[in-house]
Structure 1
Amino acid sequence: MPNLNGSTVHPDCRHFRGDMPCRPNKEHGYVCADCPVYAPVEQRVLIIKLGAIGDVIRTTPLLRRLRQEYPAAKITWLTLTPAILPQGAIDEILKLDLPSVLHLQAREFDLLFNLDKDKEACALHDTIRATHKFGYTLHPAGVAWPGNARAEHKFLTGVFDQLSLANQKPYVQEIFELCGFEFRGEEYVFDTHEDKGYNWEALPQSQPRIGLNTGCGDRWTTRLWSDTQWIALITQLQQAGYAPVLLGGTAEEERNQRLHAATGACYPGTFPLEQFINLMHQMDGIVTQVTMAMHISIALAKPTILMNNIFNPYEFDLYGRGQLVQPDRACVCFYRGTCKLGTSCMEDLPAEKVFKAVLESVPQAR
């Protein structure tokens, strides 16, 4: 090991920082020469998964397999949303910016997984040194391209609707296969933020709480359910002894206020991301469209009632908890943000169908 001015230093240790004291030194006074927690890194792994938030969340099962296959690895993850990643499960979380790019390009890795087709992600795949690379590269034409045969399936289902519609593999399985692994049902790795001590006394205490995520973002508005349907579902839940809790962000504020006024359903308000995650953790079940809240619900191992219309239902793995429900009318707007028929088929998903799925997935007593 290097000896600097009479001091032994272990730059290969997972705890070593280089620019400041490591945690073992800070907390226990350990030094490298006789450190009892010295953990030499045997593999250096880089994951590039930038966004969106939901796709970052549903890539975390890969961490479980990497820790199993490479227990002495140092895992680095580059993303646009560091706050969503489980801090304790990843050695180094980097936000995509110029400083991160510069120092990643000066390092060497044993394994590099680029799971994004963004041009900047593909360019980084090509310019960062790694012994083994998986995922997407940058074609000379300036577009994403499969870096090897393992990436071809996931690549093609993303560029041809016909192949995407015919696909029967869940997203997580596709990601595992792209990385050279067989998917064995690995669960998400996620932080509930329960240690933050948030106060939820305003939530219903005696009845099972059913979180209702009433929005879906502004890109795929064909997923939206009308106020009339939400009110019908809330009423049925209340009559059956459940406590509906309205969930959403600032985009759903107006709608949730309307639903609260019409039904008396609990609406605790809007919160920063970590607090919103912990609020969802307080639920006994979640009703949601395909959106960020769906990924959070699955990651929190909640019974998830997933309302889907425009996406391939095989894409989603609920891990045996909850149900996927779809409109009674077949959707003809695959991956479309506007309905070709004028009125979204979500209006043909009756509240009774969603209510029945809640009954079958969430016990009526806490």
Structure 2
Amino acid sequence: MSTNIPNHTVVHPDCRHFRGDIPCRPNKEHGYQCEGCPVYAPVQQRILIIKLGAIGDVIRTTPLLRRLRQEYPAAYITWLTHTPAILPQDAVDEILKFDFAAVLQLQAREFDVVFNLDKDKEAGALLNTIKATQKFGYALRPYDGVAWPANDLAQHKFLTGVFDQLSLQNTKPYVQEIFELCGYEFRGEEYVFDNHADKGYQWPQLPAAGRRVGLNTGCGDRWTTRLWSDDKWISLIGQLQQAGYAPVLLGGAAEEERNQRLQAATGAPYLGHFPLPQFINLLDHMDLIVTQVTMAMHISIALRKPTVLMNNIFNPYEFDLYGRGQIVQPNRECVCFYRGSCKLGTSCMEDLPAEKVLAAVQATLPIAVA
């Protein structure tokens, strides 16, 4: 679509590169103007994804981008989130941080398709107020202010989120549920993710590649029933070292003291905690990652790393390791589904022996015998 402004200059406001407030990149880098521009790329559909947070949930929603690019190759995709930095900058045309300014402009625009993948009330309210031809996911019921399926496709995911009994019976991984909510069949699409290899991070302290086993020792402070004791970690580290692996301690600021204790007790390398892009790149240098259900798990899957997932309080069907790992659970059945504290006083994670985790590591990343 071409538009002539009063001085007869041709403008293509429908072009993927056009900004309106500042010169586009082709103009800035090559001096192109709209008339006769060799990289003019008219947008045929405008799509909005509302997926606010947490970081792990944003990461594991990125496979949807692969299907959308296949279904709508000429689409302009906007993503609204609390954590813009985690999204791959080259896979999304416009990444907006959820704030008043972003909401104000989105409500003034029109979209062909909007996917709201969050049950947060503000996300549902936004879906209600945005002009779009098609809407998927969750809306906000105006008369009582509760989240509600925008159409029948969202009913399965909605119901498994409000009834524990249905959640326990569910056998669909999260990514499949999200695809179906959006009207697509999941075909094993991988995550879209940046390993930050272009940042030039160096890790000379790491042991030789080929047998590095990253141990992510934390799990956040919301679901503390997932925590494994220091004694269990020390036992696993010793068994990994004896089996010929090189365990590396991983974590954020919350795991600093624990990892220092584990390093002192075992000699396993601990390089410290880092900003998120650097932490992601450190994980990318692992050959396998042992983790609980936390952000590092999502990063590991996104980086296509062999993953040994230690799980107790969540439905194991929720997690798709894409055939690159194993899920290990305690020998005692967990009775604290989605609970942050253990009803029995002692978490069943203490009934997950280090030997069971070691066996999963050996099955997933065998060490060749000379």
- Place the TM-score, normalised by the shorter chain, in its bin: over 0.9
Partner of 1:298: 301
Amino acid at match of 2:179: F
Amino acid at match of 1:36: P
Amino acid at match of 2:99: D
2:284 corresponds to 1:309: no
3-state SS of paired residue (2:35):
helix
Whole-angstrom distance in 2 between the partners of 1:309 and 1:150? 29
Amino acid at match of 1:296: I
Map residues 131-142 of structure 1 onto 2, 5 A cutoff.
131-139=133-141, 140-142=143-145
Which structure 1 residue ranges, 5 or more long, are not aligned? none
Amino acid at match of 2:366: P
Amino acid at match of 1:338: S
Q: Which of 13, 16, 20 matches 1:14?
A: 16
User: Could you tell me how far 1:202 is from its partner in structure 2?
Assistant: 1.2
After TM superposition, the structure 1 stretch with the greater mean CA deviation from structure 2, 170-179 or 2-11, is 2-11
Whole-angstrom distance in 2 between the partners of 1:204 and 1:262? 18
Partner of 1:341: 344
Whole-angstrom distance in 2 between the partners of 1:209 and 1:9? 54
Q: Which of 136, 156, 160 matches 1:157?
A: 160
After TM superposition, the structure 1 stretch with the greater mean CA deviation from structure 2, 38-47 or 6-15, is 6-15
Partner of 1:175: 178
Which runs of 4 or more aligned residues in structure 1 lie more than 4 Å from their structure 2 counterparts after TM superposition?
Answer: none
Amino acid at match of 1:88: D
The answer to whether the Cα contact below 8 Å between 1:207 and 1:243 also exists between their aligned partners in 2 is no
3-state SS of paired residue (1:174):
helix
Map residues 1-366 of structure 1 onto 2, 5 A cutoff.
1-4=2-5, 5-139=7-141, 140-206=143-209, 208-364=211-367
Whole-angstrom distance in 2 between the partners of 1:355 and 1:19? 56
Computed over aligned residues only, the root mean square deviation of the Cα atoms, in angstroms, reads 1.0
User: Could you tell me how far 1:287 is from its partner in structure 2?
Assistant: 0.2
Whole-angstrom distance in 2 between the partners of 1:243 and 1:35? 54
3-state SS of paired residue (1:158):
helix
The answer to whether the Cα contact below 8 Å between 1:208 and 1:365 also exists between their aligned partners in 2 is no
User: Could you tell me how far 1:365 is from its partner in structure 2?
Assistant: 5.8
The answer to whether the Cα contact below 8 Å between 1:115 and 1:175 also exists between their aligned partners in 2 is yes
Residues 121 and 212 of structure 1: is their aligned pair in 2 closer, same or farther, counting only changes over 3 Å? Answer: same
Cα deviation, 1:323-355, whole Å, max 9, x if unaligned, reads 000000000000000111110000000000000
Amino acid at match of 2:16: R
Whole-angstrom distance in 1 between the partners of 2:347 and 2:301? 25
Amino acid at match of 2:3: P
User: Could you tell me how far 1:19 is from its partner in structure 2?
Assistant: 1.0
The answer to whether the Cα contact below 8 Å between 1:207 and 1:365 also exists between their aligned partners in 2 is no
3-state SS of paired residue (1:78):
strand
Whole-angstrom distance in 1 between the partners of 2:271 and 2:343? 36
User: Could you tell me how far 1:206 is from its partner in structure 2?
Assistant: 4.9
Cα deviation, 1:288-327, whole Å, max 9, x if unaligned, reads 0000000000000000000000000000000000100000
Whole-angstrom distance in 2 between the partners of 1:277 and 1:53? 12
Whole-angstrom distance in 2 between the partners of 1:28 and 1:223? 54
Whole-angstrom distance in 1 between the partners of 2:18 and 2:205? 44
Whole-angstrom distance in 1 between the partners of 2:334 and 2:91? 39
Amino acid at match of 2:50: I
Whole-angstrom distance in 2 between the partners of 1:365 and 1:255? 32
Tell me the matched-pair count. 366
Whole-angstrom distance in 1 between the partners of 2:366 and 2:333? 30
Whole-angstrom distance in 1 between the partners of 2:213 and 2:147? 41
User: Could you tell me how far 1:207 is from its partner in structure 2?
Assistant: 5.1
Whole-angstrom distance in 2 between the partners of 1:205 and 1:35? 50
3-state SS of paired residue (1:32):
coil
User: Could you tell me how far 1:6 is from its partner in structure 2?
Assistant: 2.5
The answer to whether the Cα contact below 8 Å between 1:12 and 1:41 also exists between their aligned partners in 2 is yes
Identity %: 79
TM-score normalised by L of structure 1: 0.99
User: Could you tell me how far 1:280 is from its partner in structure 2?
Assistant: 0.4
3-state SS of paired residue (2:133):
strand
TM-score normalised by L of structure 2: 0.98
Cα deviation, 1:108-166, whole Å, max 9, x if unaligned, reads 00000000000100000000100000000001211101111000000000000000000
Amino acid at match of 1:295: H
User: Could you tell me how far 1:363 is from its partner in structure 2?
Assistant: 3.4
Cα deviation, 1:218-250, whole Å, max 9, x if unaligned, reads 000000000001001101111111111111001
User: Could you tell me how far 1:203 is from its partner in structure 2?
Assistant: 1.0
Cα deviation, 1:3-42, whole Å, max 9, x if unaligned, reads 1222111100011111111111112111110111110000
3-state SS of paired residue (2:162):
coil
